[in-house]
Amino acid sequence: MVTRDLLKEEIDKVKEEYLTALYNIIKVFELPTGTVVTTSDFEANNAAKVKESDWSDFIEETYGCLKDDSIERAPQGEYEIREAVK
C-alpha cells in the first residue's frame, strides 16, 4: 500500500530538474474530477511561484548581511548661511 510517508521519501529522491513537473502533477489531483487543465494554466501558476521564491531567496541571502558592519553617521560639516526663504 502506498502511504503519504512513502511518497514523501520518494519525492526526496527526485532530481531538482523534475520538481516543477512533479509539482504540477500533484496539483492536478487536487482539482475536481473532469476539470480540463491546459499548459498555460501551469505556466501562469509557476510564473507567480518563481517571482515569490526569487523574493524569498533574496531576503534569505541578504537578511542580516550588515549585522557585523558598524554603521556610523559622519559629522555634518559646516554649511554656508543663506538668505531666509520668504
pTM of this prediction? Answer: 0.39
**33-79 residue pLDDT tens:** 776 766 666 666 665 565 666 777 777 777 777 777 777 888 888 88
18 located within any domain: yes
82 located within any domain: no
40 located within any domain: yes
Dist. CA 49–CA 27, nearest whole Å:
13
Helix axes 19-28, 39-62, angle to 10 degrees: 120
13 located within any domain: yes
The total number of structural domains in the chain stands at 1
56 located within any domain: yes
